[in-house]
Structure 1
Amino acid sequence: MTSPVPAIVPTDPSRSRLWGVGSIVTTCLTAEESAGALGITHFAAKSGERAPKHIHTLEDEIFMVRGGQVVVTAGEETSKIEGAGVVFLPRGIPHSYLVESDTADFYVITTPGGFEKFFAEAGYPLDLGAAAPVGDRWSPARTQDFAEQLGLGLLWPS
């Protein structure tokens, strides 16, 4: 990792992807833009958006919830964030999340960066939104395949 340099990254619709149950995920800052220090992704999530239990081996993850209801399980602890809150998920700890409100607004920050490419690569272009619901094209196996192809160090415990 080289020394970070300032990065000013305007919002760019081409960085947004359809995700999961039809949420919109936008890459805000990439590892390349932060000299590897971190990656930031924004979720405009819909009810039912979730990540099954998984483990990061390469990065720590921070959720910054700005609105909605998000249930997060980390290790053996489950908590609901209602409205706003922060969750720190150190690498090596199994975790999952589920959006219970109609919508939720949150950021996912990973350090070091690199994991944000998972959302950019595995998501679908926004212009496919009218073609079919994303949920019809989505599966845990598909996301696992992308994680493996990108070498992201994700583990999927049973």
Structure 2
Amino acid sequence: MVTTKLSAEETGGALGITHFSAVLGERAPRHMHTLEDEIFIIEGGEVRLTVGDRTETVEGAGVLFLPRGVPHSYLVESETARFYVVTTPGGFEGFFSQAGYPTGLGKSAPVGESWSVDRTVEFAESLGLGIIWGD
């Protein structure tokens, strides 16, 4: 579950903030942003983040900076995890609302569809986002 807390529209383009309520195994494949920096603020759970050649597991709470131009990935290693992702400049937070499935009030993913790494890659490419997948 990803919730936009602040959008680029609300911050004059300065930043975007999203909140993740994630489950075991949720991940972002290795990729690199060319347009924005990211800050991960872990507030609960265990998340393994790889930034360049460095891998760090954050348990409980912590903050990690993921600069543009540096390949990175994350993997949730606990049953659940909660974290914020701040992107600067803003705009990337729109990826989640456009690529995801609306929830709440009885809404769920269309039958037979779910979030996947392949779907993430395909959708990001179709939007023309500044993301390079892999090394």
**TM-score using structure 1 length:** 0.79
Q: Which 5+ residue runs of structure 2 have no aligned equivalent?
A: none
Question: How far apart, CA to CA, are the structure 1 residues paired with 2:57 and 2:44?
Answer: 12
Does residue 64 (structure 1) correspond to residue 44 (structure 2)? The answer is no
Q: Which 5+ residue runs of structure 1 have no aligned equivalent?
A: 1-23
Larger radius of gyration: 1
How far the C-alpha of 1:142 sits from its partner, in A, is 1.7
Does residue 99 (structure 1) correspond to residue 99 (structure 2)? The answer is no
How far the C-alpha of 1:130 sits from its partner, in A, is 9.1
Does residue 128 (structure 1) correspond to residue 108 (structure 2)? The answer is yes
Does residue 109 (structure 1) correspond to residue 89 (structure 2)? The answer is no
Structure 1 segments of 4 or more deviating over 6 A?
none
Question: How far apart, CA to CA, are the structure 2 residues paired with 1:47 and 1:153?
Answer: 27
Does residue 147 (structure 1) correspond to residue 133 (structure 2)? The answer is no
Q: How does 1:42-57 map to 2 (within 5 A)?
A: 42-57=19-34
Question: How far apart, CA to CA, are the structure 1 residues paired with 2:32 and 2:47?
Answer: 18
Residues matched between the structures, number: 132
Corresponding position of 2:65 = 88
Alignment RMSD (CA, Å): 1.5
1:52-92 CA-partner distances (Å, limit 9, x unpaired): 00000000000000000000000011110000000100000
Question: How far apart, CA to CA, are the structure 1 residues paired with 2:27 and 2:134?
Answer: 16
| SS of corresponding position for 2:91 | coil
Q: What is the percent sequence identity of the aligned residues?
A: 64
How far the C-alpha of 1:131 sits from its partner, in A, is 4.9
Corresponding position of 2:9 = 32
Does residue 74 (structure 1) correspond to residue 54 (structure 2)? The answer is no
**TM-score using structure 2 length:** 0.91
Corresponding position of 1:9 = none
How far the C-alpha of 1:108 sits from its partner, in A, is 0.3
How far the C-alpha of 1:47 sits from its partner, in A, is 0.8
Contact in 1 for aligned 2:100/2:115 (Cα 8 Å) = no
How far the C-alpha of 1:137 sits from its partner, in A, is 2.5
Contact in 1 for aligned 2:29/2:134 (Cα 8 Å) = no
